[in-house]
Structure 1
Amino acid sequence: MSMEIRYATNPTEAKTYDTARLRSEYVIENLFVEGQLNLVYSHVDRFITGGVIPTREPIKLEADKHDMGAEFFLERREIGIINIGAPGKVTVDGTEYVLESKDCLYVGLGNKEVLFESADAANPARFYLSSTPAHKNYPTQKVAISEAEPAHLGSITNSNERTIYKYIHLNGVQSCQLVMGMTLLKPGNMWNTMPCHTHNRRSEVYLYFDMPEDGVVFHLMGEPSETRHVVLRNEQAVISPSWSIHSGVGTSNYTFIWAMAGENQEFSDMDHVAMQDLK
């Protein structure tokens, strides 16, 4: 297991960053490595973002004692897990949960052992993890994509026709603060979350995937009056602080997972930015 630490930044500093600095602060490039668990601990709302590809052996979710100060990973945390690969299994304190592609599992505070396995080592599962601090236990719960609450947004005219699937939210799987879901763009559509917004009461992390090898997403970030961009490729994630917009356009359609944390779980709590105010 490896855990990288990222510290919080502020918008006044961020507007001076060059491309390399923007990427080192916000972009997570190498989450998914076969046979490994990789984690990034961000001081932005204490998010932990991770990826794990189990092959021949199960992989255990473990706490880094030095960085987390915990005996086990979920001692003071909750976690959302979405499988973006082939079928796999997550075992939580002896109870098994089979996750097909795009299924989600919420695991609450206090669970001591979490194991990841693939159904076929030659065609492994790819588990994406989002974890935030928690103050009470909510039940472990699986949500298949067929059971998630869908919302159809956008139009082909604006190149943003998409379906949002909500997994962990106020009217779905209950959590302390984690809100998590997935957005699928339809073929021929490339834009997400435009017109854009910020939400000063919470931060967000995006994972882009289902992209061709030569495909990219130009992810927009920064304050509305000081926008910047970073280029993201398949299975790369980006941290979005509360002061930053988070939007993007791809060279083709794609899928992305969004996870939010902060003091407010209301999905609609956002500060919209008028198109004429973007600079």
Structure 2
Amino acid sequence: MSTTAAPQPWSPPRSASTGRSWSPVALGAAWGQLVALGVLYVVCVRTAPGQREENRLHSLALENRGSETGWLRTAFDLVDRLQPQHLVLGVAVVGLVGLVRGRFGAAVRGVVVAAGTLGLTELLKLVLLERPNLLEHGSAANSLPSGHTSAVLGLALGLLVAGPRWLRLPLALAGAVAAGAMGAFVIADGWHRVSDVLASALVGSIVLCLVQVVPHRGERRRAALVRLALVVPGAAAAALVVVYAGGAPLTTSYLVAGAVVALTVLTAAQALPREVRGRA
């Protein structure tokens, strides 16, 4: 008499987990990047050598301000005209994308990522962090993280969360270009220092991971979350080595910082949960 084995219940692969419970992996990813953000702040802002290198590039940017011509000058003038209401409109668009798809949960998470990235940035910059005057001609005004970079980065990440999976690639590419360009711009035009932009990349990644901590319907990618938590701090550290330890010129510095922000968007797109059909 032959017997057949009872069918085994389906379980997700090891690299993924269902989103119906709290995610310690996402929490660990956020925590690790928060530590990296603290290290970045201490090295670049709380030490005299860090401030000296940052001020060197910042002074060059201020000296070259307004020297751009052609399409680059047009782009800079466009960024100059950005106002807070443009950000509010962008956050509303993020929520609308999720609602049009009938995904209320995705709409809420997208709005939280978009608004939370800028909100955490402003909290850190204006309330929690300070820039001590460690040099004779140093500035005591804290500028870390960059609000403009975080605003565009948050919108890019929010759209990825709220948008459909089949649009993730074009949204990721467009978001990487926009956020990376903003990160490069604020350094090139003397608005921010390199560490400010790198800190914005970390803030955006932290908020994205925190949103994935809470239970939701979907299939988390644990391996991709870990990769995100390693890539963004690693890229930021490499950028500091190139820019400060390597004595990079201004052009190289803002291109490298912008590339880290762009890489954050691309890596985050791969770490987003797989949607379960018919569920938010």
What TM-score do you get using the length of structure 1 for normalisation? Answer: 0.26
What TM-score do you get using the length of structure 2 for normalisation? Answer: 0.26
Identify which of structures 1 and 2 has the higher relative contact order when contacts are C-alpha pairs closer than 8 Å and 6+ apart.
2
